[in-house]
Structures are given as structure tokens and as C-alpha cells.
Structure 1
Amino acid sequence: MQAQLVFYADNELLEGPIFDYDNGLLYFVSIFDGLVYCYDPATRVILNVKLDSPVSNIYLKDRKKVVVASKDGFYLVDFNTLEVTFSFQIEIEEDMRFNDGIEDANGRLLIGTMGYPEVLPNRGKVFSFYKGKYKTIIENTTISNGLAFSKDNTLLYFIDTPSKKVARYSYDLVNGDIKFEEYVIEFKEKGSPDGMCMDSHGNLWIAEWGGACVSRWNPSSGKKLQVLELPCPNVTSCTFDNKGGMYVTTAKSDNPNNNLCGGLFYFDNKNFQ
């Protein structure tokens, strides 16, 4: 089955797709443009709001209301009114920016960092923000990327892209503490793991930067189970919708003939049965 192109606006780096199951809406970002998008699949209407610095991750709050991580802080974006309001800040160095993140089942916001405008080895961290306070839970990362929780919220999977591995941590939902257990997946081919999500069977779907695909992995065995190819080498992240399909974000490549790269794609549910 081929991926369907849903949206293309010549963006350099689309990222951070997240689906609001209660309201049937998809959100994603264009990092370097500072753009936050809200897409309604039922009407095919796309709204966008522009922030003043690179954006990376979205947390759902209410109907058409999200919190967005930007280099300058975290902002509440209201797509009902297209208004933007400052929410809170996690202090990071000037040569760093936020990247992928996730919300746990208790409303704790997790988010990683990476060097900006240049990648800085081992300078990244993963923070946890809860009730106005934040703490560091992972250190010495380079490009903090995909985060996913097990269905019972006792395990956290995490990708530091240059390691080409997926790490597993035990996770305490009460206090937000984590403990490294082991690396459960290793990428040995040209693709490097970027963003990821978990399916209903507990398998991880991982976007492959440089691999032109999303791949499905069993985190217990470390085995690759399935590959869905895309017409773009740099695949950045993925999320399931309320119909069992998957939205996938991509980035530009060095090949000028790859004229769909930087678009948003969709695989319908026939790919996952």
C-alpha cells in the first residue's frame, strides 16, 4: 500500500504529529518555520499559528487547544481564536532547543533537547515537568527523539538518534522517576531511529531518518516485524488516528528530485490489519 500525501507546503522539517482522539484532530509542527498546524480530517481544513522561535512538540489540552514547546518557552495555542499565550519555561542553554516529548498518564510533560543551530554531542537532556516544577531524568544525549510508554505505564522507551538504539527505562508513574534497564532495539542498516509511537499490540512504530520508511518492532524481542515505505528518505515521526490509520511527517532531503519531501503522509488502516 502506498502512502497518501495529505499536506505539502514546502516545509523543511515537519515533526511532532499527535492525534486528538476525543475531537478527531491532528496536530503537527514545522520546526524551523515556527509553525503549529491543526488538521481536521473530516473537513480537510488546516489551520496554522506561527511562533517566534523553532517549535518541536505538542501536548493536548482541550478542543483545539494545545501547549507547544518552542525554543523561547512553552505556549498555549488556541486554534479556536488563533491566540497564543505564554504558559511556562524550562531553562535550557542558548545553544540548545527542545525536540520530541510526550505526556504521561498523570499529566506530567516529558521533553528532550538537542543542540541548536548545530548538533552538540552529549549535551542534550530529557526533562520532566509537573505542577510548575521540572527535573532532569536523562542526561548526556545528543539528539533526544522518540518517546513512548508501555500500555501499563511502567516502561518508557526512548531514542537518542545517533546511538541507533531504543532504550528501555522502568517508569514510576507516581513520582516520574526512571531507571535505565537496557537497549531493546538496534538499527544496523542505513536508517536511524527518529520519532515513534506504540500500537495497540504494544509494538513500536519508528520513523527512520535516512531509511525512507516507518518500521514496526517488537520491543520484547528486538525484532523488526514490518516496513512501510515512503517517497522521502528522511522520515521524522508517526502517530495513529481514530480509524487505525497512521499519519507520518517527513523532512527535506539533499535530492532535488524528491519533491514531496517535507510533506505529511497517511497510511490507511488496511496497512495494519
Structure 2
Amino acid sequence: MSGIEITQILPGILLGEGPHWMDDQQCLLFVDILKGDAHRYFLKTKRHQILHIEDAGSGDNVSIIIPIEGATDLFIVTVGRSLAVIHWSPSDPDNHTVKVKTVLHTVDAHLPNNRFNDGKCDPQGRLWAGTYACEKLSGEPVKHMGSLYCLDVDLTLTDRVNKVSVSNGLAWSLDKKTFYYNDSLAYSIDAFDYDDESSKICSRRTVLDYKTSGLQKDVPDGMCIDETGNLWVANFYGKKVICVDPKVGKIIHTVELPTQNVTSVCWGGEDYSTLFVTSAQTGLKTEELASQSAAGSIFAVNGLGVKGLPATNFRVNLQMLKNRINFED
């Protein structure tokens, strides 16, 4: 693809993940998982806020932050193995620490080494978020110990997929009939039939097999969908984002990035023509970090010739949420 412009908008993130564009404030949300921080970057003013979220009792990694629709300055977050709610206002100091206002659910109680990883809201505003297990000493993932959960708007939680190794990217087709999902250590992009009313999924199949598609060293990570129905997938270890046509299971575009460990993607900007990309310093050796000054940066990619769609916020039943927390705190 010609005419692509890649801009480094923020450096120095340890493990960037979970980008989410807030259209009403024209800002990018994302997290630094290992530091337990949420970030908010205002594109026009370049204001950069960092919010440290305290341990909610099941671990201190923060992997998701998504606005709660209709509730100003409230966000749903994953902290360790917990789904929780925080308050964060643009008027807060740019460097700030908060406790969670309430923990909605804590999962995988019998698996204390598990933590939440990637997550996103479906077209109905339900939150889907998955876990994985990490071996304490080596830091390596333990296969088949995680699950993919769905948090409904009435705050009920359902386990949708079991025996997940590293739960990662999620996207829904434009006709709301297909759910796309990445379990990173399956080395494939998979699809399920999806019922938008009930959130039930079935008939899992492979859209793109990494090993047979020339991506032997790459790991599928975060994912989003564009206005034409094509998938954009961050490739950890792969130094790139790929665009996949899921109808034919083929890679149709590749965007090379100046760092190896690319973690996630989302569409944003005034007209949703900017692809925001997160990356990580983790997983790189000392000499690799020395040669990759852009490792851990947040990038803005323009000139792709396609646009994305607005992200869905969490559409919780606000009365139920009010029963759980004090909005005035």
C-alpha cells in the first residue's frame, strides 16, 4: 500500500494494549498492562493523562478500559481477574491514582495465576473479555487454562469459550452474524456464528491459519474491523499489522511497523480513518530494545484508504449499576 503515514504519538509504554477511541472527547484510551495504568491521550491538544488503578484484590494488571454509556466519567476495567468500575474525569490531575468503585465479578478463583487480557463490547454493548494463565517463574503462558466471558447489560456473567490459552483479539461482522476471535497460541483467526440478541456463539472454524499463511513466527494479537468488513490484526513478534479478508481467508494488506511486538489496533480520529496501534517493550531482549527505539510506542497510521467504525461502549443497565455504587463518591 502506497501513501501510508506512520506517526509515533507516544513512546515508552511497557505493555500497551486495549486501544479504544472516545469520539465525544476525541481521545484515545489504552492501558499499560504490567504497570496497572490506564492512559488517555487527546489527539488535538496532545494532553496525556495517566491513571494508576489500585489492585482490586485479584491482581494488579489492568488490561481493558471502556467507557460506560450514559454515565459520565465512569469506565469498566479489568484488574487482575476482576471486572470493576472506576471514575476518571478529564479534570483529574494528569497523573492520578484511584481505587475501584466496585468489583462486579471476579473470575477463575481456582486459578490464581490467571488474569484478564483483551476485551471489547459487542454490537449490543455487552462486554466480552478473556483470561489466560501465566507461569509465575518463567512468565510463559500455560495452555488451555483461560476462558472467554461475556458480561451482559444486566451484569450477569457467562462463560462462552473454555480451554483458551491466551485470549486476545475480538471483532464482530458488519451484519452482526459472525464473531471473530484470536486465541493467540492457536495461531489462527477463528470465527463463530453469533446471535446478536442472545450473544450465543457456535460453529467455530478457522478464518486464517498462521502456520500455513507464511506467518510462522507471528502471534495473532488485538484485532478490529473496517467499514468493508475486513479484519486488521496486530502481529506480536511480527513487526506488523495485517489486513485479512475473512470471506476468503486471505491477507490482502500488510503494514510494517518499526518495532517487533505489535499488540493491538483500533480505528479513530475525526472520520475514523486513523488506525491506532499499540506495542510493547516486553518480550524483547536487551539488544533488541537497543535497536528498536520505537518499542512500546503508540502509533497513528493514516493513508490506508479505508475507514473504521465507532467502538461500542458498555451499555450496562444504569439502575442496576447505581445499586452497586454511589455515583456521588
The one of 89, 106, 109 equivalent to 1:90 is 106
The structure 2 residue matched to 1:27, chosen from 19, 29, 35, is 29
3-state SS in 1 of match to 2:142: coil
- Aligned counterparts of 2:164 and 2:16: Cα–Cα separation in 1: 22
Asked if 2 retains the 8 angstrom alpha-carbon contact of 1:129 and 1:135, the reply is: yes
Query: Aligned in 2, Cα 1:87/1:107: closer, same or farther, shift over 3 Å?
Result: farther
- The equivalences for 1:170-185 within 5 A come to 170-185=193-208
Note if contact 1:169-1:179 (Cα within 8 Å) is conserved in structure 2.
Answer: yes
Residue identity in the other structure for 1:228: V
1:172/1:95 Cα in 2 relative to 1: closer, same or farther (>3 Å)? same
CA–CA separation in structure 2 for the residues paired with 1:176 and 1:213: 31
Conserved? CA contact 1:2–1:230, under 8 Å: no
Match of 1:7 among 7, 10, 29: 10
State the match for 1:264 in structure 2.
Answer: 298
**In 1: Cα distance, 2:171 partner to 2:9 partner:** 25
1:115 partnered with 2:142: no
2:149–2:160 contact (8 Å) kept in structure 1:
yes
Superposition TM-score, scaled by structure 2 size: 0.78
Distance 1:123 1:106 in 2: 28
Q: TM-score, normalised by structure 1?
A: 0.94
Asked if the contact 2:81/2:114 (under 8 Å) is kept, the reply is no
Residue identity over aligned pairs, in percent, reads 27
CA RMSD of aligned residues (A): 1.6
CA contact (8 A) 1:191 1:211 kept: yes
More strand by percentage? 1
Task: For structure 1, list consecutive stretches of 5 or more residues without a partner in the other structure.
Answer: none
Higher RCO (C-alpha under 8 Å, 6+ residues apart): 2
* Contact kept in structure 2, 1:90 and 1:134, CA below 8 Å: no
Q: Higher Cα Rg: structure 1 or 2? A: 2
Question: Which consecutive residues of structure 2, in runs of 5 or more, have no partner in the other structure?
Answer: 55-59, 93-97, 307-329
1:194 is matched with which residue? 221
SS of residue in 2 equivalent to 1:166: strand
Q: 3-state DSSP class of the match of 1:32?
A: helix
| CA distances 1:100-139 after superposition (whole Å, capped 9, x unpaired) | 1111222211111011344111111101111121111101
Give 3-state SS (helix, strand or coil) of 1:49's partner.
Answer: strand
- State the aligned residue count: 271
